[in-house]
Amino acid sequence: MSATKRTASARSPTNLTSRVSVFNSQVTLFEAADDPDDTPRRSKRAKKEVKREDSILEDVEDLEYTPSASTPTPRKRKAAVKSEPKQKKAASKSSPAKRAATSESPKKAKPIPQVLSTPHPEPPNWRETYNTIKEMRARFIAPVDTMGCQRAQLEETEPRNKRYSTLVALQLSSSTKDEVMHAAVIKLRKALGGSITIEGMIAADEEVIHEAIKTVGYHNKKHGYLKNAAIMLRDKFDSDVPDTVDKLCALPGVGPKMAFLTLQVAWNITDGIGVDVHVHRITNLLGWHKPPTKSPEQTRLNLQSWLPKELYADINHMMVGFGQVICVPASPRCDECALSKKRLCPSARVVDGKNRKAIVYLETKESPPEVEIALEEAEEETYMPKS
């Protein structure tokens, strides 16, 4: 038999008939026999796809029908599968107090690093740059001056509440403008009965807290952080704000920036620099980091390795206000910046400020000349009335 015949016969199904061609005796022709079902032959690939679909359908059907009494019913298994996400969803909606009571104790937080193994060198002309920014900051009022985290404690009378309201304001401040954060603190204080206290935060309903702070960034997480942090402060820190950065960072929603600023404002302790997005961004624009830092924590460690410690307490407030008014992120006011005029900023650019909103500077009052006052006093002393 020829190769053609062998291949044909090997592939020929049972419903084909063969006959020799009348034109050529070496050629065999195949014809389809009458099929009562009249169904076309399916390819192996089609059979596999159908088998796969059937298996999927069988899996679905197994969830609906009971195979035997000895094994769990598929219907029950389906109910268990469906109820699992509901249980997770219900757990996520449970109050922070219940989650804190049922969850395991958190792992001990790693100590916050304070020094670099290799200190970063001092950038050139940093002192002149720093003093120039400080002089500019003295000439205008920024949002951080009137609505920053340090303002939250002014409405409280008890020292513990002053410290706690400062911490709460900083917890709300991340990814939020000072104006929005300040308004949320006022609304939260009103919702808690006129004072921001640890006891009031624990007793308040979670929805009440959420409603008060819903304008701040990440409010869906922060209201839980506030609740859980208050519970931890009560249980582990005698209902007061701790006075070390490591203990503060163990609280939910508290990072190094918040911890260092809390120590500075609440306890008058300066252990490090509170580096936020403004300090991180502006110091990189000034070229103070070689290579540029990629995170606020890298920026903090670099700055702490060369900046004098007596400036730790001032740099955050100074840079934040400078970044809110002059060195704004979207379109910096290089036309109003003294660093640009003195060529101290490598990132300065030419800016047309004609159509920009004018910056309101504080008026400086000149004191009267001392010489004139001295002359007037001398004349009064030598004056003698006639008899």
Conformational region of residue 120, where left means phi above 0, alpha means psi within -120 to 50, and beta covers everything else = beta
Give residue-wise pLDDT tens across range 332-348.
999 999 999 999 999 99
Decide if 257 is catalytic: yes
Domain boundaries, the chain: 3-32, 126-341
Q: Where are the alpha helices (DSSP H) in the chain?
A: 3-11, 44-62, 74-93, 96-102, 126-137, 143-147, 159-173, 178-191, 198-203, 206-213, 219-236, 245-249, 256-266, 277-285, 296-306, 312-325, 338-341, 370-382
Q: Is the pTM of this model over 0.75?
A: no
Positions in the chain whose pLDDT score sits under 70: 1-109, 364-387
- Write down the pLDDT at residue 308: 97
pLDDT computed for residue 24 by the predictor:
61
pLDDT value of position 351: 86
pLDDT of res. 356: 87
Report H helices in 116-218. 126-137, 143-147, 159-173, 178-191, 198-203, 206-213
Query: Catalytic one among 162, 222, 227, 257?
Result: 257
- The pLDDT, as a whole number, for residue 16 is 64
Q: For the CA atoms of the chain, what is the radius of gyration?
A: 38
Q: What homologous superfamily does CATH list for 126-341?
A: Hypothetical protein; domain 2 (1.10.340.30)
d(CA 251, CA 228): 8
Looking at residue 17, its pLDDT comes to 64
Give the pLDDT confidence score for residue 26 in this predicted structure.
Answer: 64
